[in-house]
């Protein structure tokens, strides 16, 4: 008897796994059809690879940090592909090492926001009532402070550092995710299979994580791509006004701020870091748009 039960459970798991795989394969198949999404994915992958192998391509300490006044303000040439800045540092080295910081911040802030948003959103949606009311009112209040103002206030209070920047960004981005999760929870909460799961004595945590949250998967994936792009732009903006990443750390916004006074005769100084921001966020937006279409069951062919 026991062996039979074990056997049955085993096959159910296999089935679940098969189903999950086929779903992902299906989304991938549909995503592949969108040329713009594939272009976005290609550009994004290139940027991620450049960021990952930045140390092998250009040495961080000697090329991106150390000043070399002899080489200052060289226009782009064969040794310095993007030219050099006012301190004689290689702009290409700084741009690819900057990709590292921007992507790291973009993905980590988004990951934490998703995690907190999942908890808050599912608790609010699942329990409803007063808990829902309190959580949603607080989130509404956070959302009525323009995101950049909120981040500025937090950075102002906690001081300028990368962990504080992550906190500042996360607080601003949690409400969006929590709302998406809550909405998805509310759409499934009345269904019979939730009732059945409750009746069969499953714990609340298990019900939420196994039966409720998978429904929020699609919209969250789309929001993640958009949010990474938006965090990268916001961090660049904060650094640009001198309240984000502090120079000489190579961050795109900080680089733009440093090169402002030299841009008249060296326009490449503002061109390349800016294009880096544009390309990164454009590729994420293209991918997000493609994913939205691929995940939308109404557009199924």
Partner 1 sequence: MHKYVLKRLILMVPIILGVIFIVFTITSLTPGDPGRMMLGMTASQEAVDKLNEELGFNDPYVVRFAKYLGNIVRGDFGKSYKNNQPVFDEIFARFPTTLKLALASITVTILIGIPLGVLAAVRQYSKLDMISTVSALFIAAVPSFWLALVCILAFSLHLGWFPPNGIGSIAHYVMPTFTLSVVYAASILRMTRTTMLESIRQDYVRTARGKGATPAQVIWRHALKNALLPVVTSMGMSFGGLLGGAVVIEQVFGMPGLGTLLINAIKMKDIPQVMAITIFLATLFCTIMLLVDILYAFIDPRIKARYTS
Shortest distance (Å) from residue 279 CB to partner 1: 8
Which of residues 240, 250, 254, 290 is near partner 1 by CB under 8 A?
A: 240
User: In angstroms, rounded to a whole number, what is the distance separating the alpha carbons of residues 255 and 96?
Assistant: 12
- Nearer Cβ to partner 1 (168/213): 168
Q: Does the footprint of partner 1 cover residue 267 (CB under 8 A)?
A: yes
Q: Does the footprint of partner 1 cover residue 196 (CB under 8 A)?
A: no
Shortest distance (Å) from residue 184 CB to partner 1: 20
- Nearer Cβ to partner 1 (104/278): 278
The 3-state DSSP class for residue 116 equals helix
Q: SS3 for 37-100, per residue?
A: HHHHHHHHHHHHHHHHCHHHHCCHHHHHHCCCHHHCCCCCCCCCCCCECCCCCEHHHHHHHHHH
Q: How many CB atoms lie within 10 A of CB 3?
A: 7
Q: Does the footprint of partner 1 cover residue 254 (CB under 8 A)?
A: no
What residues between 152 and 181 interact with partner 1 by CB under 8 A?
152-159
**Interface map 279-298 toward partner 1 (x if CB under 8 A):** x-xx--xx--x---------
User: In angstroms, rounded to a whole number, what is the distance separating the alpha carbons of residues 195 and 202?
Assistant: 10
Q: In Å, how far are 28, 101, 151, 193, 254 from 277, measured between CA atoms?
A: 26, 12, 19, 45, 12
The two structure tokens encoding residue 156:
């102002």
Q: Does the footprint of partner 1 cover residue 229 (CB under 8 A)?
A: yes
The two structure tokens encoding residue 116:
């907190």
Which residues here bind partner 1, judged by CB under 8 A?
A: 137-138, 140-142, 144-150, 152-159, 229, 233, 236-237, 240-243, 253, 256, 260, 263-264, 267, 270, 274, 277-279, 281-282, 285-286, 289
């Amino acid at each position: 008897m026991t062996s039979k039960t074990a056997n049955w459970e085993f096959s159910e798991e296999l089935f679940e796994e098969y189903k999950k795989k086929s779903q992902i394969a299906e989304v991938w198949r549909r995503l592949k059809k969108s040329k713009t999404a594939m272009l976005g994915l290609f550009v994004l992958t290139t940027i991620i690879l450049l960021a990952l192998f930045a140390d092998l391509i250009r040495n961080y300490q000697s090329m991106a940090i150390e000043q070399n006044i002899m080489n200052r303000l060289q226009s782009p040439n064969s040794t310095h592909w993007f030219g050099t800045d006012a301190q004689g540092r290689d702009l290409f080295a700084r741009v690819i090492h900057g990709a590292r910081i921007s992507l790291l911040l973009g993905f980590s802030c988004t990951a934490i926001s998703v995690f907190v948003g999942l908890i808050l959103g599912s608790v609010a949606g699942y329990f409803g009532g007063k808990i829902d009311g309190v959580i949603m009112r607080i989130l509404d209040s956070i959302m009525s402070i323009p995101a950049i103002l909120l981040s500025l206030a937090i950075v102002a209070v906690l001081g300028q550092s990368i962990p504080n920047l992550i906190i500042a960004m996360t607080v601003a981005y949690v409400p969006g995710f929590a709302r998406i999760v809550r909405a998805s929870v509310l759409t499934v909460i009345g269904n019979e299979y939730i009732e059945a799961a409750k009746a069969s004595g499953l714990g609340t945590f298990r019900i939420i994580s196994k039966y409720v949250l998978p429904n929020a998967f699609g919209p969250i994936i789309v929001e993640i791509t958009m949010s990474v792009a938006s965090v990268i732009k916001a961090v660049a903006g904060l650094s640009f006004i001198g309240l984000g990443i502090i120079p000489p750390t190579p961050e795109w916004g900080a680089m733009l701020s440093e090169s402002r006074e030299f841009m008249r005769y060296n326009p490449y100084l503002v061109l390349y870091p800016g294009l880096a921001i544009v390309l990164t966020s454009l590729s994420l937006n293209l991918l997000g748009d493609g994913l939205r279409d691929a995940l939308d069951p109404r557009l199924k062919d």
